[in-house]
Each structure stands twice: as structure tokens, then as C-alpha cells.
Structure 1
């Protein structure tokens, strides 16, 4: 899942970005509403974590423009304005969820994950393929009932493929949704991460390489 955090408080923005990355998400962070609009034109974000009080372009205006452009990103407004009227107004502007500051970080992660599931085809809470089982909420992966220790990026990569069983997913799509802007599109980072993931999952393989197409989980 790829997330754009738009928060003008730099320390809070970095903290949110770091925490979401530790939860296995690909995260880009900006502190300005105008820059956020530019980023939304460049990458297919799944979730937008949005402060309302932003320089250049306000969070409210940004929320409206996302809706007007028909962008797929789901919006979580994250703001200190917590009165009922503020929450209603934020949702009326087009936000999909609303969380007030201060907040508990596990709740933020859970809400972002929930919105990410809504940004694409319906995804079950626990992902399965053959004898492999992945629980994104608990951050656990097992094969034939035995735990498999995965890095955050390996976990996110496997989750993305398992959520699209039988579909061929290109390396470019994986870069767009599993990696953030720091990823070099000309490197072998997808291939390398998949190699480590396959080695940890063992035999028989559940991820196949489709020549000149990409990668597929399951049949």
C-alpha cells in the first residue's frame, strides 16, 4: 500500500511516515498542499493522510480537488479540529475517515489499512494462497502453520500479490504501490526482494514469474 502523508508540522509528519513504514507501507511525506497536488499527479496513492491546516493549498481544498479529479486515493483527515461540526464538514468535503489529534498510533495504522482495503477490489482480512497465510493486521506470515520471518518490504510485497490472486502484476506496478519515491525504477530492487521472499517461503513456489509480464501468486 502506498500512502501520502500531508502534514505541515515537520516532526509529526516524519514521525507518522516512519511509523507507517514500520507497519509495512510505502510512504511519501510532504508539508505543503501544493506539493501534495504535484505528488498526486505523479503516483497512484492508495491512501492520503491529510492535515486540514496547510500552506499554499488548504487540506479542505486538496480534499475537494482529489474528488473532482476522480483520483483513487482514500482520504483520512488528521486534524486538531475535533468538534462534531468539523468532522461532519470534513466528511462532506469528501474525506473517507476523520481522526483527531492527539491520536493513538495503532488506531491510525488500523484506519489507514482499512482505507487501503477500500481503495481497490475487496480484500479479505487474512490472505491465503495454498498453505501460505498472511495476516496484515497482526503482521504475521505462516507456511503450513509455521511462522515465516519477513522484512516489512517482503511482507508488503507478498500482501500485494496475495490480494490479487492469479493476476499478473508487473514490476512497475509493484514499484508504484509497494515502494516509495526513494526507489530507483532502474534497479533490480523488485527482483531482488522477490528472490529473498521466495527463499523464505520455500518449496513449492507460490509466486511465479511470467515472462515479459511480471509476477503472479497462485494459479
Structure 2
């Protein structure tokens, strides 16, 4: 999944971004309101983490502009403003969640997971498809109790596909949600990762054709025959 991190404190931004990258997320970092809106205009994000005290265009105005265009965006305010009035105002203006600084990274990541489940109408941390279980909390993927040894990027691809189970996902959509915007990919990078995931599924005797190539479009993960 892809996150837009809007935080003007550069050191804090780098620390949070590193933590999210270690958890398997793709992260774009913006340091002011103008840059944040520029990123938002050209990319699609699963979750937006927004500081309020940012230069050029302040956080609540950024929130307002995004909400005017997109009612479904998942926005988490991460701010030093801890007064109840600030929280109420942020939530009333359209934020989905509000976390105050200082904060624990584990709580931030848990809240991001929660928002991602809301975005895809998921009720549990564990996703399931054709005998494959994916736990969004532990980042563990297994088939019939056998753990799959996936790389972080392979996990991110499979997680996004399982969140979109039954839907055809374009190649561009997968790349946009799994890689950073600045990533310089080789033409066959995604195909290589998909092939590796399929091979690892076969290695644990998951012989169902779970991940299907949709010629000229992209991929689809689904249970059973269609």
C-alpha cells in the first residue's frame, strides 16, 4: 500500500518513513502543503498522514481541499495539537483519525492498518483466498499453516491483490500502490515479482491458479474456477 506522509520536521519525517518502509509500505514524503497537494494531484494513495503545522498551506486547508475532491480518501492527522477543540475540528473537517505527538510508531502503524481495512471494507486483520492466509498485523502469509518466505515487496503486492480480491487490477494500478513515485523500475520488474510469488505458492503445494494474468490489462486473484 502507498502512503503520503506530510510532515515538515525533516528528521521526524525520515524516521517515520523508514519505519513504514520496513513495514512494507511505499511512502512519498511531502514537507509543506503545496508539495503535498502536488503529490496528491498526480498520485493515488491508500492512506494520507497529515501534520497540521506545515508551511505554505497549513494542514487543515490541505485537508479541506482534498476532501472537496475526494470523499473516500483515508486521512490520518498526526499533530502536536492535542486540545480537544483541535481534534474535534480536524475530525469534523473530514479526517478519519487523529493521533497526537509524541506518539508510538506501533500505534501509528496500527491506525494505518485500520484505515486501510476501512478503505477496502475489510473487518479483520487476516485476509483469505484459496487457502492462503495473510495477516496484515504480523505480515505473515501462510498456506495450510506453512509460512511463505516472501520478500517485503512480494508481500506488498500480494496484500494489495488480496484486498482487491476478485477484481481485475491493472499493471499501472499495482505499480502505483506498491512502489514509491520516484522508483525507477525495469519493464519486467512487476512480472518478476508476480512470477516469484506464484513459484513460492507452488512450492508449498498451493496449486490453484490463484493469481491470474489478464492479458493486456493486468492481474486478478480469485478463488476457484470461473
**Residue 61 of structure 2 is aligned to residue 61 of structure 1:** yes
Question: Alpha-carbon deviation of 1:108?
Answer: 0.2
Report whether the alignment pairs 1:91 with 2:95.
no
Structure 1 residues 79-118: aligned runs within 5 Å? 79-118=79-118
1:50 matched to 2:54 = no
SS in 1 for 2:78: strand
Listed as ranges, the gaps of 5+ residues in structure 2 are none
RMSD over aligned Cα, in angstroms? 1.5
Of 215, 218, 221, 1:214 maps to: 218
Distance change (3 Å), C-alpha of 1:47 and 1:32: same
Provide Cα deviations, 1:98-130, integer angstroms capped at 9, x if missing partner: 001110101000101111222234464211111
Q: Relative to structure 1, is the Cα distance of residues 20 and 164 closer, same or farther in structure 2, using a 3 angstrom cutoff?
A: same
Q: 1:48 to 1:81 in 2, by over 3 A?
A: same
Tell me the TM-score normalized by structure 1.
0.94
Spell out structure 1 runs of 4+ moving beyond 6 A.
none
The residue that corresponds to 1:128 in the other structure is 128
Return the offset for 1:73.
2.2
Q: How many residues align?
A: 219
Unaligned runs of 5+ in 1: none
Contact 1:77 1:99 in 2 (8 A): yes
Contact 1:175/1:183 (CA < 8 Å) preserved in 2?
Answer: no
Instruction: Find the counterpart in structure 1 of residue 175 from structure 2.
Output: 175
Is the contact made by 2:120 and 2:163 (CA closer than 8 Å) also made in structure 1? no
TM-score normalised over the length of structure 2: 0.91
